[in-house]
Structure 1
């Protein structure tokens, strides 16, 4: 380890020692759990401190996705796995097209389930990984590294800037190399871990929260929800098929049997069925109106206001 300023910063945070955990191995199971819970309780507040930066990230991602670009996460170890996880959850939740949200991890697919020695230090593989997906100026790259100093992620940020992509650096160390390298820094300082240096703990939790906000926020901006309802989900199992019917019933003001019949006539397209239910138009015409509105349901039937329950339509307004 060198004596560079970035190392000093890391020692004060992700690599630091937590005084309350000094006797960790001598605690009872209940004491250990309570200590971890008290430390985890600090995470949400730390994420809240980064709200303005996260919101700028949401806007940047929504802008580029709306113009046909992609959201690409890249990281090593836990950070990489969390990026891959968030990317994998976008298609079933928001019906994102294949390849619109991508997760890359140092060491490739093998690294999702086991450690790949030296992968996080291989900056050259980051270049190869980004070049393989033809990263471009239309895209957003989110580099994730709790320490803010992972060579694989830093080289990825540099390569992305060379290609003109917008870069976001997500780390848990103030003033890190990553925060300086990226165009937008999202820094969530959660402090030392209960197990010193084990960033799968508080830092991992903070990372998951931020990624949730980035992807969900961008999808909401793109009209993937109506109010709080996920109107672009893919009904690929019994639970989700039931949810689709409930959502159609709630927004469209129709009962279960009518919702099922209408959804079938609309080829399973929930948004199309909602427009047809609310306007009385044919599925074809409903589909045309949605396309003209960029798929934003609110732009076709107006905003959802107030509270409503099953079987009651969500009132529209000007």
Structure 2
């Protein structure tokens, strides 16, 4: 076994993750201090410098190896092993393709060049044996599932004071904004079904503080979006019903009926129902729902109008 030049070409850390790796075990280096991991990749075993001792529960599992994200001078060249949530998951490089739909989308300056990755990576698992695609940089969860990216790209002006705050925390402005968005929206990014947009909360306390800020700063303008959507749907449904009634009224007139007389008859029905009171209306509604038809007794008509239609309520439309 030896250190693998594939992971560490020359004296630098490889910048990409290596997939379909099996964790064989762990050990300490010759100095007796530095942790190492033993992995198997493409039928060959390799010893890699690790950021921490190997977890016993991960031994024998398949996953991927990636370089340490924030290595110190002492940890330079160290790696991390992460097991796949679905142990049948495998990276299938021959299925890789490009996502032309987002090829020309402007890039931001976050940790990932753009959340809607241009490159689509191929995968396969037991529940999806024919293979499937996922955005580059995303490792699918259980059964190969992940939450698709449905984000919208917006342009935001950033003042120098905000840039300074981002630099003070060793972040870029886009990273800081996206981190706050995850907390404010209460987004939780679960490993068994990861989000392609990579948004996520920093913790329950952070979500609570962000919600308190929003309520304090903008609570007076809050509305219920679900209720508003329902009102819009009801208004659209009402408009559609009015259009349908207008068409039926036109059809009635085309057949020789008198639309004005029809409307007067309907108005008479409504007036009579008002006189009978709400209890009668409720009883009538229950009867209609039970029979799925209006309780109407139609007399023989001499002309195609409602002059000879008599409702079972006792209202004569003559």
TM over 0.5: no
Structure with the largest fraction of helix:
1
Structure with the largest fraction of strand:
2
**Could you say which structure has the larger radius of gyration?**
2
